[in-house]
Structure 1
Amino acid sequence: MTIPSSLGTAPRFDGLLAAFVNCTLKRSPEVSNTQGLIDRSVGLMRDAGVAVDEIRAVDHDIATGVYPDMTEHGWPSDEWPQLYGRIIAADILVLAGPIWLGDNSSVMKKVIERLYGCSSILNDRGQYAFYGRVGGCLLTGNEDGVKHCAMNILYSLQHLGYVIPPQADAGWIGEAGPGPSYLDEGSGGPENDFTNRNTTFMTYNLMHAAAMLKEAGGFPAYGNQRSEWDAGCRPDFANPDYR
């Protein structure tokens, strides 16, 4: 990508790790149109020095439920604990998926439910575990619903503790109704300037926000520590023990 001279040298983001979770309904090696859009963002990140971990959720045995490990609740197997380890290691999380009936895919819903199931886990500062990380989303389809799906995903991520930077979503939809998908020949998806612009802005805003949080040592830990609250140390309350 050409950087205008007025902007100076393109920034580097070495040392950051991003996790992309593809919530397509198609198992590998079937072609995923969502993966086509993911590849655009991943390419920008890797060019800027970010290490990238990619997960196609449907390829894994993810149990249904809202606990960190569903084998402790009657399920015979559950790969989520291993996937959670990869996700929590990342500074950036991008949830990506298709639009069906104007809404997020069932796989996307399951991933968000399992993320929510880990929301009681705390970091070493007593904050919820997802604090200090940034989140965004990518969506594809040939029907309306990009903004509706993005609202659901981004709300869910911020509720869990992720920081959502400006313009943290991007997507592509073709002509309303049956028609070509993003990677289909002649769809115009990969060449769409609106989608390419938003994907680029989203990618760089995620990297900028993650770099700022990392440099700051995470999200400030005052007034948001669950461990302190549970211990009775509550800011702005009549409690001299809070410090």
Structure 2
Amino acid sequence: MQSATYRGERDDSRSADRKQEVPLTLNDFQRELCTTSRWDFSDLTALFVNCTLKPSPEQSHTEGLMRGSTQIMELNGVTVEYVRALDHELAPGVWPDMREHGAERDDWPALYERVRAADILVLGSPIWLGEKSSVCTRVIERLYGNSSILNEEGQYAYYGKVGGCLITGNEDGIKHCSMNILYSLQHLGFTIPPQADAGWIGEAGPGPSYLDVGSGGPENDFTNRNTTFMTWNLLHAARLLKDAGGFPAHGNQRSLWDAGCRFDFANPDYR
């Protein structure tokens, strides 16, 4: 019986004749932005986590889109790390280390240290049935497991970090997936700048994915513009936070709240 065809970041074996390695390069507009920038981002670090359902070394269309953003950052001196989440064994759960809760192996603690060291976190995900991938859900769940950790100011650990997302797929779902991912990141404490998402989707029905020959993905001006704006907005937000010494620490410190400070919130006993 012939296997079913699913939409999303599909199995490349069914389209080997049209698969290509696209050498993604910045267009003239993007290069001009980089060369005329008056900002110094050389002390910033960014972590890109690809939540594709494909293990390495399979081609990832999501990685193809992420590459456009990483190139802009690298040209501006940012230290960029790239991780394919599926290449790591991230145990299910919402504790910092699931080995302490029955898991035989958990690579999350090491990956969390890379998140902790980064100023910028970008999650990339394919679309499956209109939703972000299960791998992306797992990564967000594990981020949540560390969200109660406090920084030196007594704020939650992700305060002072900037978050964004990149989405690939077919038919529909960019805004839906971005809405979910960006809400989750801000809820955990990340700062989300304007237009912190970008994506590409193909036509409805069977057809080429982002890196396939004839897809038009790498040449799509709308996608390239949004990816460029997202990248620069992440850089600007991270620069502002870095220069300010982090997110302002007043009225948002869990440690002081637990100690009894209420930051001008009215005592209900006196209402």
* Alignment match, 1:192: 220
Deviates more, 1:7-16 or 1:70-79: 7-16
Q: CA RMSD in A?
A: 1.4
* Alignment match, 1:108: 136
Find out whether 1:44 has 2:72 as its counterpart: yes
Structure with higher Rg: it is 2
Return the TM-score normalized by structure 2: 0.85
Do the aligned partners of residues 188 and 68 (structure 1) sit closer, same or farther apart at CA in structure 2, a change above 3 Å counting? same
* Alignment match, 1:96: 124
* Alignment match, 1:217: 245
* Alignment match, 2:15: none
Aligned partner (choices 178, 181, 200) of residue 153 of structure 1 = 181
Do the aligned partners of residues 119 and 185 (structure 1) sit closer, same or farther apart at CA in structure 2, a change above 3 Å counting? same
Return the TM-score normalized by structure 1: 0.95
Displacement after TM superposition at 1:143 (Å): 2.2
- Report the count of equivalent residues: 237
* Alignment match, 1:24: 52
Measure, in 1, the Cα distance between the counterparts of 2:36 and 2:176. 37
Measure, in 2, the Cα distance between the counterparts of 1:177 and 1:71. 43
Aligned partner (choices 167, 174, 181) of residue 139 of structure 1 = 167
Residue 150 of structure 2 aligns to a residue whose secondary structure is coil
Measure, in 2, the Cα distance between the counterparts of 1:238 and 1:42. 46
Residue 157 of structure 1 aligns to a residue whose secondary structure is helix
Displacement after TM superposition at 1:179 (Å): 1.2
Quick one: percent identity of the two aligned structures? 70
Do the aligned partners of residues 234 and 143 (structure 1) sit closer, same or farther apart at CA in structure 2, a change above 3 Å counting? same
Residue 83 of structure 2 aligns to a residue whose secondary structure is strand
Residue 43 of structure 1 aligns to a residue whose secondary structure is helix
- CA deviation profile, 1:109-144 (whole Å, cap 9, x unmatched): 000000011111000110000000100000000120
Question: For the Cα contact (< 8 Å) 1:3–1:10, is it kept in 2?
Answer: no
Deviates more, 1:228-237 or 1:66-75: 228-237
Measure, in 1, the Cα distance between the counterparts of 2:148 and 2:253. 12
Displacement after TM superposition at 1:3 (Å): 2.8
Measure, in 2, the Cα distance between the counterparts of 1:181 and 1:69. 36
Question: For the Cα contact (< 8 Å) 1:22–1:96, is it kept in 2?
Answer: yes
Find out whether 1:65 has 2:93 as its counterpart: yes
Runs of 4+ in structure 1 over 2 Å off: 1-4, 7-12
